[in-house]
Amino acid sequence: MRQRTWKTAALILASSLALTACNDGDGAMPGMNHSTPSASAGAHNAADVEFATGMIPHHRQAVEMADLTAGKAQATAVKDLAAAIKAAQDPEIKQLSGWLTAWGEPVPTPGEHGGHDMSGSMPGMMSAEEMDALGKASGPAFDRMWVQLMIKHHRGAVTMAKTEQSVGQDPASIALAKKIETDQNREIATMQQLLEQLP
């Protein structure tokens, strides 16, 4: 029965991603954001810079968490979700980095948190201790911990995206923030269902 429910969760995820692609309006794959207007070097404010500077390491940590599922995750739905998250967020990292470059702002390097302790100041970021514990887990224990932590991580991204929509200026940044809010809220709902099905 659990195998069947995992397959159901995976089907829900696949359907959600298909809807995301349709909503993009140009047949783009989730995360590619081809319908999002290009950022301009002039039409932005400090909130746009903060959003991009913060979301890059936030996304990188999600990708790092997704990479941890290799050889550790047991549930197919967890593996599929991790692959979908990585496929969506890698292109967004490149997009955000391009905007910062266009604005003449520094792009955070891997391992750099934009001058902040992101685990303490950025919503949803995992602490070093949480990442270490996740890295040491495996099998069903890993699956459950990974889903719980990714829900927390996604909620943090939604908070950041809402802030950008409220105080940002650049139309492309605001459009991406709206997409992140929509996509990650959908994935949170999928993960909450999955959490109920995991052992």
**Per-residue model confidence (pLDDT) at position 90:** 97
pLDDT at 38: 64
DSSP states of 93-130 as a string?
A: HHHHHHHHHHTT-PPPPTT--TTS-HHHHSTTPPPHHH
Global pTM? 0.79
CA distances from 5 to 77, 89, 92, 129, 174 (A): 9, 26, 31, 31, 36
Residue among 86, 96, 83 nearest 61 (CA): 86
What per-residue confidence (pLDDT) applies to 128?
95
Name, in order, each residue with C-beta under 8 angstroms of 141's C-beta and a sequence gap of 6 or more. none
Cα–Cα dist 149/124, whole Å: 8
Spatial CA neighbour of 184 closest among 20, 1, 43, 12: 20
**CA-to-CA distance for 60 and 111, rounded, in angstroms?**
9
* pLDDT tens by residue, 91-149: 999 999 999 999 999 999 987 543 334 455 789 999 999 999 999 999 999 999 999 99
Identify the CA nearest to 110 among candidates 58, 51, 154, 46. 58
Judge contact between 198 and 144, C-beta under 8 A. Answer: yes
The residue with tokens 């319908």 is: 35
Whether the Cβ atoms of residue 99 and residue 52 lie closer than 8 Å to each other: yes
CATH code for the structural domain at 2-197:
1.20.1260.10
Domain assignments of the chain as residue spans, ordered by start: 2-197
User: Rounded CA gap, 150 and 122, in Å?
Assistant: 14
Cα(126)–Cα(150) distance, integer angstroms: 9
The stretches in the chain having pLDDT less than 70 are 1-42, 112-120
